[in-house]
Amino acid sequence: MAEAKPSLPADLRCVLIDEESIRERVLALAAEIDEAYKDITEPLILVGVLKGSFIFLADLSRRLTIPHIVDFIAISSYGNKGDKRGEVRLLMDTRENLAGHHVLIVEDILDSGSTLSYLTKAFKARGTKSVETAVFLDKPARHVVPVDIQFRGFEIEDVWVVGYGLDYKERYRTLPFIAEMIPEN
Ligand code: IMP
Ligand code: MG
């Protein structure tokens, strides 16, 4: 087990991904996205899934050199609460009309896959030119619904992580690194 740093709160076990590694990976992802969309003739629409993606989206979008528009969507997912597994509901739609545009969904973490599967289908049904996905973290052990991910930051084990936009009960979103939580009993 990694040794906890003295500066970490007591319920965080260790830093999984430090600031420098995040910075380097986001820069590389932006270069991949620039390359993939270099021939499109109108701005790419980045759609961040609130709230968890807001920091990743902010960093990624500032590293892109291709023309792009930033937008957001909010959904509620019951996937982690047990009763209605995998159910996803749209709470706030994009400001942009996505029809006729290349869309890149930007998400904090791929867990069961319910969120991204739902959004990909919903956006494709709107007459978009393409719908692809960039996720900062991926937990392959947790996948239930198959999702095709084009741009992926890091793969992690099946542990609860916080920081860089990700929360535990709204805490720790603004930590500049990704940390592993010690589960509550
Ligand atoms: P899913 O892929 O639809 O199951 O849902 C993924 C969502 O669950 C993410 O967008 C996060 O909001 C949340 N989530 C899953 N795992 C974690 C985690 O380790 N930390 C924080 N949020 C998580
Ligand atoms: Mg999320």
Q: What is the pLDDT of residues 128-178, one digit of tens each?
A: 999 999 999 999 999 999 899 999 999 999 999 999 999 999 999 999 999
What's the CA gap between 111 and 7, in Å, rounded? 28
* Mean of the per-residue pLDDT values of the chain: 93
Whether residue 61 has pLDDT greater than 70: yes
Query: pLDDT at position 184, please?
Result: 84
Query: pLDDT at position 7, please?
Result: 81
If one residue of 11, 76, 108 were mutated to test the ligand 1 pocket, choosing by the most ligand atoms within 8 A of its CB, it would be: 108
Contact 149, 135 (CB under 8 A): yes
CB atoms within 10 A of CB 14: 14
Q: How far is the CA of 52 from the centre of ligand 1 (A)?
A: 8
CB atoms within 10 A of CB 94: 17
Q: Which residue is closest in CA terms to ligand 1's atom 19?
A: 160
Whether residue 5 has pLDDT greater than 80: no
Whether residue 85 has pLDDT greater than 70: no
- Tell me which ligand sits closest to the C-alpha of residue 73: 2
Pick from 36-40, 81-85, 157-161: least confident: 81-85
Rounded to an integer, what is the distance from CA 154 to the centroid of its chain?
A: 11
pTM of the model: 0.93
